Amino acid sequence: MKRRAYNFSAGPSVLPEKVLEKARSELTSWHGCGMSVMEMSHREKEFVSIAKDAEARLRSLMRIPEEYHVLFLQGGASLQFSAIPMNILRDKSKMAYIETGTWSEKAIKAARQYGTVSVIASSKADAYTTAPDLSDLPLDDSFAYVHYTPNETIHGVRIFDIPDTKGIPLVADMSSMILSEPIDVTRFGLIYAGAQKNVGPAGVTIVIVRKDLCGASAPTTPDVLDYSKQAKDGSMINTPPCFAWYMAGLVFEWIETEGGIEVMHARARSRATTLYGAIDGSKFYRNPVKRAYRSLMNIPFVLKDQTLDEQFLVEAGASGLQTLAGHRSVGGMRASLYNAMPQSGVEALVEFMRAFEKEHETA
């Protein structure tokens, strides 16, 4: 059998091989029950135990306090762009957004359907190659919440410091960085993430929300999007994404076995240092993002001679380095280095980049 490729996809993305092996070993008969997780009723004790176990592991890994609901929903991070204002705007009509790239732009566009959005900081004028100054945000009590995207997956921009929102609930789209470093959950009103980057396969969306923000959703909110109602029913108002939820639980277990989130963080820093070092040390490759705001998870880079892009991708693929094309909106290359990417994958990429440069350097 062909060895596994190093997969640099931004999402759906690489999963830990041990998780895939375990899922395979349990695929046709989970824990000897005679059926696959894909075939079980979500109301039976087997799946209920899988679901509860996954939640408990996530609570323990992220140290999520009792004051927060942990929900496993559907619709991706994108549906949360609308579900968030529906649920937590409550008696207010204004919300504040920080604009740092494509994903925050999309969140802003969706939120405008539900209230008056103020973009209180933006790095759009810098083509999203940096983050805006967040030191003195223009905030007052009329805002229901402040939304930001700590890791912009497409532009490779990271906000490392949690913004001071002067007591206003902070909402974070952590889709492409959740579980890659320790986070103080108590600093947030709501954290959400589509699973298909650092958590598991596509199909499940994690929402971690402070209980006191829930319970006063807009009257038009569908039940399946209502955080309180979903919490009351264990995220099972309707059929949940059972298999993706189960896989997320296996990933949580894998992170525990590997040593927890601190270990994930150390590995992430090591991978990023290796790749940024190679890019910065060459005149052939370039990363456009200001150093203080560079993502540890998604690293875009361009070739000096863009007519070589196609050849770069073809030859990288032939060397077992897959899915390195940048997002179609920005072009160039992008290496996504999520938790399941081993250091050896980054090293193989850097080795390939050096060889490719050597071959195409003009003297």
Residues near ligand PLP (CB under 6 A) are 11, 76-78, 103, 149, 153, 173, 175-176, 194, 197
Closer residue to ligand PLP, CB minimum distance, 16 or 194: 194
Smallest distance, ligand PLP to C-beta of residue 99, A: 13
In the 8-state DSSP scheme, what is residue 187? Answer: G
Residue with Cβ nearer ligand PLP (176 or 228): 176
Nearest distance from residue 184's CB to ligand PLP, in Å? 20
Instruction: Give the C-alpha distances (Å, rounded to integers) separating 250 from 16, 179, 348.
Output: 10, 14, 27
> Which tokens sit at 218?
């807009």
Kindly state the tokens that stand for 48. Answer: 């209920």
Cα radius of gyration (the chain): 21
Residue nearer to ligand PLP on the CB measure, 12 or 320: 12
Which of 173, 226 has the CB closer to ligand PLP?
173
Active site residue 103: yes
Task: For the CB of residue 199, give the shortest distance to ligand PLP in the complex, in Å.
Answer: 10
- Assess contact for 15 and 201: CB atoms under 8 A: yes
Q: What secondary structure letter does DSSP report for 113?
A: T
User: Toward ligand PLP, which CB reaches closer, 76 or 85?
Assistant: 76
Q: Among residues 245 and 352, whose Cβ is nearest to ligand PLP? A: 245
How do 285-286 and 298-303 pair as beta strands? antiparallel
Distance in Å, CB of 60 to ligand PLP, minimum? 24
Spot the catalytic one: 94, 140, 173, 309.
173
Rounded-to-integer distance, Cα 90 and Cα 117, Å: 15
Query: Measuring CA to CA, which residue among 33, 34, 51 is closest to residue 42?
Result: 51
Q: Give burial (CB, 10 Å; 0-12/13-18/19+) of 306.
A: exposed
- Smallest gap from Cβ 123 to ligand PLP, in A, equals 15
Smallest separation (angstroms) from ligand PLP to the CB of 13: 10
Catalytic residue among 30, 103, 245, 254: 103
Residue with tokens 């999007």: 225
Phi, psi angle pair for 110, to nearest 5°: -65, -40
Q: From the candidates 197, 226, 245, 254, which is the catalytic residue?
A: 197
Q: 46 to each of 26, 35, 41, 240, 246, how far by Cα in Å?
A: 13, 10, 9, 14, 11
DSSP, collapsed to helix, strand or coil, labels residue 86 as: helix
Q: Annotated catalytic sites, by residue?
A: 103, 173, 197
